C-alpha cells in the first residue's frame, strides 16, 4: 500500500455520538415544524398571558388566578405539549411513512433512536422554560425554585408523557394518533389539573391528582414554591414505568 493512501474504515460511530447526532436532528425537526412549535411554545404562552391578563381585568378574587400559580402550571402544560402531543404525532407519521423502519435497518440502534428523541424533548423543554419563564417574570411571577424538586419533576414528567405518547403512536394509525393526541391534550389542559391546582376542581381534585397531568402540575407548583413533591413524583414515576413498559410491549415499528 502506498504511503498516504486513504484507507476507509467502515463502522458505526460510538453510541454517545449517535445519540447526540440524533438528538440534534430530532430537535431541529421539531422546531422547524410549525404545528409542533405551536404546541410547544405558542399555545402555552397564550394560556399564560391570557389567564393572567384576563383574571386581572375581570377582577376575579380567586387564589387560583395568581401568576405564581398559573406560571408553574403552564410550564407543566409545556412539558405535556412536547413530551406527549408533539412526540405522538411526529412518531405516528414517521411510522406511517416508513421512517422508523428504515432507521431500524441503519447502524443507529432503536435504543439510540429513542435516546435521541428523549434528548430532543429535553432540549425543546429548555427553550420552553426560558420563553415561558421570562414571560412569567415579566408578568410578576416570583418563584422560589427548589432545583432538587424541579429536575426530577421535569425528567419524570417527560418520561411519563413520552411513554404514553409512544404507546399511542405505536398502536394507532397516524390519523387516529393525530386526533387522539390533540383530544387528550385538550381534555387534560381543561380538566386535568395541569394549569390550575387540583383543589380548584372541588370533589374531583382527589381523582385528577392521580392523573399524570395532575401529578405533573402539582409537582411543578410545589417545586416552584421551594418544596420537594414526594407524592407527586411517586405518581409520575409509576406512570413513567407503566407507560414505558406498555410502549415497549405493544409499540409497532411499522
Q: What is the pLDDT of residues 219-253, one digit of tens each?
A: 999 999 999 999 999 999 999 999 888 887 887 77
Q: How does DSSP classify residue 68?
A: H
Range of the domain at 234: 15-250
Does residue 190 fall inside a structural domain?
yes
- For 28, the grid coordinates are 431541529
Residue identified by cell 432540549 is 123
Does residue 125 lie within any of the structural domains?
yes
Residue 89, in any domain of the structure: yes
Which of the residue ranges 2-6, 22-26, 42-46 would you say has the lowest mean pLDDT?
2-6
How many domains is the chain built from? 1
pLDDT over 70, % of the chain: 87
**Domain-located, residue 2:** no
Quick check: is 1 in a domain?
no
Q: What is the mean pLDDT of the chain?
A: 84
**Confidence (pLDDT) at 109:** 64
Q: Is residue 73 part of a domain?
A: yes
Residue 8 lies in a domain: no
User: Stretch 152-178: mean pLDDT, rounded?
Assistant: 91
Residues 74, 129 contacting (CB under 8 angstroms): no
Predicted confidence at residue 17, as pLDDT, reads 79
Amino acid at each position: 500500500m502506498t504511503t498516504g493512501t486513504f484507507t476507509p474504515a467502515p463502522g458505526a460511530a460510538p453510541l454517545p455520538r449517535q445519540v447526540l447526532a440524533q438528538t440534534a436532528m430530532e430537535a431541529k425537526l421539531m422546531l422547524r415544524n410549525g404545528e409542533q412549535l405551536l404546541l410547544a411554545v405558542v399555545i402555552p404562552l397564550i394560556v399564560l398571558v391570557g389567564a393572567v391578563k384576563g383574571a386581572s381585568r375581570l377582577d376575579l378574587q380567586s387564589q387560583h388566578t395568581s401568576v405564581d400559580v398559573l406560571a408553574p402550571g403552564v410550564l407543566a402544560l409545556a412539558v405535556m405539549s412536547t413530551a406527549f402531543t408533539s412526540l405522538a404525532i411526529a412518531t405516528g407519521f414517521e411510522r406511517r411513512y416508513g421512517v422508523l423502519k428504515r432507521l431500524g435497518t441503519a447502524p443507529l440502534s432503536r435504543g439510540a433512536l429513542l435516546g435521541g428523541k428523549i434528548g430532543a424533548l429535553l432540549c425543546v423543554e429548555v427553550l420552553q422554560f426560558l420563553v415561558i419563564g421570562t414571560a412569567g417574570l415579566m408578568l410578576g411571577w416570583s418563584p422560589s425554585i427548589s432545583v432538587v424538586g424541579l429536575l426530577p419533576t421535569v425528567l419524570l414528567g417527560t418520561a411519563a408523557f413520552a411513554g404514553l405518547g409512544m404507546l399511542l403512536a405505536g398502536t394507532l394509525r397516524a390519523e387516529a394518533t393525530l386526533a387522539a393526541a390533540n383530544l387528550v391534550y385538550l381534555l387534560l389542559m381543561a380538566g386535568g389539573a395541569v394549569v390550575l391546582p387540583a383543589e380548584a376542581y372541588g370533589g374531583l381534585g382527589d381523582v385528577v391528582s392521580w392523573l399524570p397531568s395532575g401529578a405533573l402540575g402539582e409537582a411543578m407548583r410545589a417545586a416552584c414554591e421551594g418544596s420537594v413533591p414526594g407524592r407527586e413524583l411517586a405518581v409520575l414515576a409509576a406512570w413513567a414505568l407503566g407507560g414505558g413498559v406498555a410502549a415497549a410491549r405493544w409499540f409497532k415499528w411499522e
